[in-house]
Structure 1
Amino acid sequence: MLEPNGPLPPEIYWRRRAVAIGAMVLGLALVIWVAFALLKGGGDHRTDAKATSTSSAVATTKPTGSSTSSAPDSSSAKPSGAAPAALGLCSDQSLAVKVTVGQPTYKVGEQPQFGIVITNISSAACERDMGSGLQLVQVQSLDGQRRLWSSTDCYPDGTPDMRALAPGQQAAFTVTWSGATSQPNCAGDRVQVPAGPYTVVAQLGSVRSAPEPFNIF
């Protein structure tokens, strides 16, 4: 370092240089501190932005999570399919039987057709086996004193036919008669009935229809 030159004593010049150097060092330190503070402040801002972004993401996904969690509640609230209640057996008192004739007159050798209608006359739904083996259709003389044919004489067994009937509902069946006589267990010879007036009745259990007349000529 150069020796100070001037009219003043050398100590004064050295003191001035020391003050100037100190001021320079202090100014440099201040600049460095300000720069560091700025850099540090910028880092906090980026951290805050990141935190805000994270919070926003959480806030966005939270309703989705809530919706997903509510789905099982709405699903469980749906009524499940209930098994249908078992129907009771139709008693004889809950049924009515009616028989009809296809036409009022048939020729000898023709095969008359009879219709059977079974109605649930009760106030409750019920079910009943109405298979052909349980239905009885019978042709009689006009006065009902002589039995000529029965649907169960030669065909006592029949396929089960379970029917469910609501109140007032009907089940309808058709039976064709060959026009020949029959006996229980299909015993004896079967012969063609002669011309004349006849009646037909139908029965299920103990329920019997009113007789329906028809003619063969």
Structure 2
Amino acid sequence: MNEQASIYWRRRMVAIGGVVVALVVFGWAAGGFFGDGTAQVQDTNSGARESQPPSSPPPPPPPGSSSSSTTAPASPSSETSSPPPPPPPPPDPDLPCPDQAMQVTVELGAPQYKVGQRPVLRLVVVNAGPVACTRDISRALREVVVTSADGATRIWSSNDCYASKLPDLRIMQAGERQQFEVKWAGRTAAPGCPAKRTTVPAGTYSVIGKLGALVSAPVSIVLI
């Protein structure tokens, strides 16, 4: 009985030892298999990373592409644009004022005067042009004339007794006004300033202003 029991337990121990050895061998084999596989995968990926060429910029888009990253070519007009031309030089103020740029009028100190008073008459010259210019407004060219109401009879002129021929060149700015005042003695006169002169009676008369060939519109004056 003891001999049989001893044999039985030895067999059990051998069987158990064999199972243990088999498990150890199987575990070692399985561990080696999975360990090698993982290393192989890592090596493969590493090799792929090492063999990949360096990154390069993407190729340019084909002609006609609407890619927003493509820089639009410069406009031909912006490349060929030139600076604006310089402004023209201002008009020379020394150039004479043309007649069409001048405006001549006559003004009265009062619409009516008493006989024997000295009415105030003003000749007004205006540069009505757009630019400055030069005009001769000398005493010989300026003139205030009194006539009958219908303009048919010449009665008096501011130049009848004045013989100056000196020029009076003035630069007149656009819109500038020059005025010249004279006083009429209320008597007749004539060119050459004759000594015989008569007092003008009460009535309505016409006054005009002149600058050379330019003549103003008539203005009525009343003597009472």
TM-score (normalised: structure 2): 0.56
Q: Show the counterpart of 1:64.
A: none
Counterpart-to-counterpart distance in 1, 2:166 and 2:181: 15
Q: Show the counterpart of 1:165.
A: 172
User: CA offset at residue 86 of structure 1?
Assistant: 5.2
Partner of residue 187 from structure 2, selected from 175, 180, 184? 180
Cα contact 1:148–1:182 (8 A) shared by 2: yes
Amino acid at match of 1:121: A
Counterpart-to-counterpart distance in 2, 1:152 and 1:95: 21
Counterpart-to-counterpart distance in 2, 1:207 and 1:182: 22
% identity of equivalent residues:
41
Counterpart-to-counterpart distance in 2, 1:122 and 1:112: 31
For 1:185, what is the secondary structure of its paired residue? coil
For 1:93, what is the secondary structure of its paired residue? helix
For 2:160, what is the secondary structure of its paired residue? coil
Cα contact 1:92–1:205 (8 A) shared by 2: no
Cα deviation code 1:87-133 (max 9, x no counterpart): 11112222010101100111111000011111111122111121222
Q: Show the counterpart of 2:108.
A: 101
Cα deviation code 1:68-101 (max 9, x no counterpart): xxxxxxxxxxxxxxxx955111122220101011
Alignment of 1:26-175 (within 5 A): 87-157=94-164, 160-175=167-182
Partner of residue 198 from structure 1, selected from 201, 205, 212? 205
Q: Show the counterpart of 1:207.
A: 214
Larger radius of gyration: 2
How has the CA–CA distance of structure 1 residues 99 and 170 changed in structure 2, closer, same or farther, with 3 Å as cutoff? same
Counterpart-to-counterpart distance in 2, 1:102 and 1:186: 25
Q: Show the counterpart of 2:54.
A: none
User: CA offset at residue 158 of structure 1?
Assistant: 5.7
Greater helix proportion:
1
Q: What residue ranges of structure 2 are gaps of 5+ in the alignment?
A: 1-90
Amino acid at match of 2:129: S
For 2:192, what is the secondary structure of its paired residue? helix
Amino acid at match of 2:145: Q
Amino acid at match of 2:184: W
Alignment of 1:6-25 (within 5 A): none
For 1:144, what is the secondary structure of its paired residue? coil
Amino acid at match of 1:123: P
Partner of residue 216 from structure 1, selected from 206, 212, 223? 223
Counterpart-to-counterpart distance in 2, 1:107 and 1:159: 35
Q: Show the counterpart of 2:5.
A: none
Q: Which moved more, 1:110-119 or 1:185-194?
A: 185-194
Q: Show the counterpart of 1:77.
A: none
Q: What residue ranges of structure 1 are gaps of 5+ in the alignment?
A: 1-83
